[in-house]
Chains A and B, each alone.
Chain A
Amino acid sequence: MNIVGISACTVGIAHTYIAQEKIEAAAKKAGDTVKIETQGTIGIENPLTEEDIAKADIVLLAVDVQIAGEERFNGKKVVKVPTQTAIKSPNKLIAKLHELAGK
């Protein structure tokens, strides 16, 4: 399954990147391809391209704050969770994504 997403926490210096790492590790462990854009205080890193989004089966937003460019995901299946969920239970989250995407 192809997963894309964004991680963005309140302060933008720690949880954002930890969530990204945790999601990517868990997704890879489940055999998925994954790309997570981070929107931290320093700005946007690892941005998602149109191609990335088009190929994706599901979009994961692990965010505590409003993010830029949410319109990019119009028409896709989008799941929004707090960053804490991604950090504390990344494997169970990925499993739930599989369930929701039906794959």
Chain B
Amino acid sequence: MTTKEIWKAANPKGHLLTAISFLIPIVCGAGFIIAIGMALGGTAQDALVPGKFDFWQSLATMGGKALGLLPVVIACGISGSIAGKPGIAPGFVVGLAANAISAGFIGGMIGGYLSGYIALGIIKNVKVPNWARGLMPTLIVPLLASLSSGLIMIYIIGTPIGAFTDALTSFLRSMSTSSNLIVGALIGGLCILDFGGPINKTCFAFVLTLQAQGVNEPVTALQLVNTATPIGFGFAYFVAKLFRKNIYNNEEIETLKSAVPMGVVNIVEGSIPIVMNDIVRGIIAAVIGGACGGAVTMVYGADATVPFGGFLMLPTMSHPLYGLMALLVNIFVTGVVYAIIKKDVPREVIKETDVEDEDDISLDDIKIQ
């Protein structure tokens, strides 16, 4: 098989996205818990000794401990996606090994691929006599896959990964203001391109790694853009009124009523149905607004210590007002741009999508099995 065919069969992106779909509820749930805990005065503790902690610390610790195991979750997710159930145990072990050797989130990701492909390889290539068949998924595959990937992680790749992450972190920390502006604009604009889709999620995995290293601004940039964008589209409604335009039909207005509150709690996906009705303009408004918001976040150093929470991320920052500023700038720019470029629409809904408006599908996009 050619390299391209091997790459396609291996499907690394599909496995990453599958793993991320398991990761997100944990990040959201635990992220919110730690955000609440920290907003109300708690900090994450190493251990909760009975009688020596208060309620907010318990929340912060609960959330923090869960987030600390994200490398393990992503490893399990990727490994399980590649090898099925037999991949989960090796993923678990290699993820914990990555944590132990300080290889972080990237270590968890690479470890997940490693243990997954090794487990898959063992399943497909190792033949055992009939009496030992039952031992394959219970003992043989987990033992061999965990051991081999774990040892590779600890002795070979773990420390270099950790060193790479450290180098990346130092580089980002030492960036000048103008570089911060570019990075912020890049993160903000790029990550909102697909409104919570694969690009956003892959970007998210990357900035999560940075946050584990203590570089909080990128994940803050990303999440503040996710928060502000739906609100921006809601704001556009009112800005358009100023121009005596009506830019949303009744169905979209209803959608906005849930999309905006969802935006407040960091969920950008609610705005998708609205953007879909006018994709190009929606993306333009979101990307310009996001780039501005992201730039403000990075330049002024809004640094939430939690990876999720929307407005709840503000109290966790060293300067919450900067975060608020980033949000307001984003909302304003997205709203105004969209209001300006969007055409008037009738309030009543017309359902048809024209075939001519659609993108052409190339046969590369379609796989037949």
Contacts and interface: CB of A to CB of B under 8 A. Distances in A.
B80 to A, nearest CB: 9
Contacts of B21: 10-12, 41, 65
A90 B353 contact: yes
Interface in B147-199: 194, 196-198
A80 B14 CA distance: 12
B369 A10 contact: no
A80 B363 CA distance: 11
Interface of B (DSSP majority class): helix
Given A79-B366, A81-B367, A100-B366, 17 more contacts: A9-B197, A10-B18, A10-B20, A13-B269, A14-B272, A64-B14, A66-B18, A66-B81, A77-B368, A80-B366, A80-B368, A80-B369, A85-B361, A85-B365, A88-B359, A89-B358, A89-B360
A2 interface: no
Interface in B1-52: 14-15, 17-18, 20-21, 24-25
B8 to A, nearest CB: 11
Chain B interface: which size bin? 20 to 34
A78 interface: yes
Contacts of A41: 21, 24-25
The 5 closest A-B pairs by CB, nearest first: A14-B269, A65-B18, A89-B358, A78-B369, A66-B18
Interface string A67-103: 0000000000111111011011111110010001000
B30 to A, nearest CB: 15
A90 B272 contact: no
A35 interface: no
A43 to B, nearest CB: 12
Chain A interface: which size bin? 20 to 34
Contact of B368 (A12, A78, A87, A92): A78
Contact of A100 (B24, B365, B368): B368
Interface string B293-325: 000000000000000000000000000000000
A92 B353 CA distance: 11
B279 interface: yes
Given A18-B276, A85-B361, A10 B17 contact: yes
A72 to B, nearest CB: 13
Contact of B355 (A11, A22, A92, A96): A92
B270 A92 contact: no
A25 B353 CA distance: 10
B254 to A, nearest CB: 15
Contacts of A80: 366-369
A15 B272 CA distance: 8
B226 to A, nearest CB: 11
A10 B272 contact: no
Contact of A84 (B18, B196, B197, B267): B197
Contact of A66 (B15, B198, B365): B15
A14 B25 contact: no
B365 A91 contact: no
Contacts of B18: 10, 65-66
17 contacts: A10-B24, A11-B269, A14-B196, A14-B269, A15-B197, A41-B24, A64-B197, A65-B17, A65-B81, A66-B15, A80-B366, A81-B361, A85-B365, A88-B279, A88-B359, A96-B361, A100-B368
